Amino acid sequence: MAADRLTTDSVTSHPSLITDYLRAVEPRLRARRDRDDLLDEIADHLHSAAERLEALGVGRDAAEQRALARFGEPRVVATLLTSVPSKGSTVSLFFSRYLGPLSMIAAVLWAVAAVMTYFGYTALSGSWTSERYLTSAVIVGLACLVTVAVLVGLNIRATGRLDGPTIAIGVIGVVAAAAATMTSWVVALWLPLLAAVVTWTMVRARRAHAGSRPFVTVLMLAMPLLGAAAIAVSAVGIVGGVETEIGIWLVVVGLAVVLVAALADLAVRLAARLRTSAVTA
C-alpha cells in the first residue's frame, strides 16, 4: 500500500517519519487490548534506533528513514503483532513511559539538595542544626535513589534487556543511596560509588550510541573527577585536621549541577518523544 511505503516525498512533507509510521500502524492494532503498550514500545524502539544513527553522524530524517526501513512496513508489522501475543518486556515498557518523569524528579531533587546541603553540611548560614543535616541527608539519599532508577532505565534502553551489568549498577547505586542517607557528610563513601555507576552507564550508552552525546561525554569526564575530589577533600580533613565543610559542600554542589543539567536534558528529550508518539490523541 502506498501509505505504508517510506518515500522521499514523505520525508520532505512531514516533520517526523516516525509519527507518520505510528499513525499508519495504530488503526491496524485496534483489535489488541494492549494497543497503547505496543505503540509505546514501537515508538521507543524507533526513536532509540534513530538516535543511535544520529550519534554516528546520520541526519535526523535519514536516521528515521533507516530505522523505519529496518523495522518493516506498517502493514506487515501490524499483521505480525495482531497474530501473536506481545513479547514486550514489562520493565522496558515501564522505563519507556516513566523515564522522563523520573529524570525530572531526580533533577529537582538534586537542585533542592544543592540548597539544603548548604544549611545541613555547613554553618555558613549561622544556624546549623542536626535537624537541617538530617533533612539534607534524606534529600541527598532520595536524589541518589531516583538517579539510580534513571541509570537502570538508561541501561535497559541502551542494551534492550536487564543484564548483569545493569543489575550491578542498580545494586551499587542503591548502596550509594543508602550511604548518602545514613552517612551523608562522609562524601568519600557514597559520592565515588554514585560517580562510578554514572560513568559506567555513560560508557555503555556511548558504546551503544545512545543518549545525548554531549552530556554523555561531559558525564564521563566529570563524574570521575568529582569522585576523586570527594575522596581528596575528605582525606585532607582527616589527615590534615583541616575544616573541610565548605569543600565538601562545593563537591556536592558540583555533582548536583552536572546531574541537574544532564537529567533535565534527558527529561525534555523524552517528553518531546512522548508527544511525537501520541498518535491517538
Report pLDDT for 73.
79
Provide the whole-model pTM. Answer: 0.72
Q: Which own/partner contact pairs does 159-162 have at CB distance under 8 Å and 24+ positions apart?
A: 159/204, 159/208, 160/92, 161/89, 161/92, 162/89, 162/91
User: What pLDDT, in 10s, does the model give residues 194-214?
Assistant: 999 999 999 988 776 656 677
Looking at this protein, which amino acid is placed at residue 150?
V
- Scan for cell 554514572, then name that residue: 198
- Kindly report the average pLDDT of the chain as a whole number: 81
**Better pLDDT: 160 or 24:** 24
DSSP string of 46-58, one letter each residue: HHHHHHHHHHTT-
Please name the residues in contact with 244: beta carbons below 8 A apart, sequence gap of 6 or more: 233, 234, 236, 237
Could you tell me the pLDDT band of residue 187, with boundaries at 50, 70 and 90? Answer: very high
Dihedral sign, CA of 242, 243, 249, 254? negative
Out of 32-41, 42-51, 133-142, pick the least confident: 32-41
Report pLDDT for 176.
97
Contact 74, 24 (CB under 8 A): yes
From residue 103, alpha-carbon distances to 8, 124, 144, 153, 197 in Å are 36, 31, 12, 10, 16
Q: How far is CA 154 from the centre of its chain?
A: 5
Count CA atoms within 13 Å of residue 66 on its CB side.
15
Report pLDDT for 281.
45
User: What pLDDT, in 10s, does the model give residues 69-108?
Assistant: 877 777 776 666 665 554 445 555 566 678 889 999 999 9
Please name the residues in contact with 15: beta carbons below 8 A apart, sequence gap of 6 or more: none
Q: Which of 167, 168, 120 is nearest to 140 (CA)?
A: 120
Cα–Cα distance measured from residue 59 to residue 195, given in angstroms and rounded to the nearest whole number: 32
